[in-house]
């Protein structure tokens, strides 16, 4: 599984190198990963706490910019 990930991980599509490496190891070398393995998920954007403006305060512009930046960096999904 992938930590803190709401989508199914897609081999060679989402850009998770740890997931891709495990699948390549299986497909090329026949090496299975451990029975239960957890991979790190993509980093989440830093979002200001609600006390910094919330949805209607001055922090919304920063929040929108952070979300747009995160989306641009994670276009694989």
For the segment 28-51, what is each residue's pLDDT rounded down to a tens digit?
A: 999 998 888 888 887 777 877 666
pLDDT of residue 8: 64
Q: Are residues 36 and 69 in the same domain?
A: no
pLDDT at residue 9 tops 80: no
Q: Report how far residue 21's alpha carbon sits from residue 46's, in angstroms, rounded to the nearest whole number.
A: 28
- Residue 62 φ/ψ, nearest 5 degrees: -65, -45
Q: Are residues 49 and 69 in the same domain?
A: yes
Rg (the chain; Cα; Å) = 17
Q: Where are the alpha helices (DSSP H) in 1-77?
A: 17-29, 60-73
Q: Are residues 2 and 21 in the same domain?
A: yes
Q: Which two tokens stand for residue 24?
A: 């390549």
Q: Report how far residue 71's alpha carbon sits from residue 22's, in angstroms, rounded to the nearest whole number.
A: 25
Q: Which two tokens stand for residue 25?
A: 């190891």
* Whole-structure pTM value: 0.49
- pLDDT band at 25; cut points 50, 70, 90: very high
Question: How many structural domains compose the chain?
Answer: 2
Question: Range with the lowest mean pLDDT among 2-6, 34-38, 49-53, 60-64?
Answer: 49-53
Q: Are residues 35 and 63 in the same domain?
A: no
Structural domain including 49 reads 43-77
Q: Are residues 22 and 48 in the same domain?
A: no
Q: Are residues 36 and 56 in the same domain?
A: no
């Amino acid at each position: 599984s992938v930590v803190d990930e709401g989508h199914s991980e897609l081999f060679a599509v989402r850009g998770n190198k740890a997931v891709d490496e495990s699948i390549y190891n299986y497909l090329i070398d026949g090496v299975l990963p451990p029975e239960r393995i957890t991979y790190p998920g993509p980093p989440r954007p830093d979002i200001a706490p609600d006390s910094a403006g919330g949805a209607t305060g001055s922090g919304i512009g920063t929040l929108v910019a952070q979300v747009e930046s995160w989306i641009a960096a994670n276009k694989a999904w």
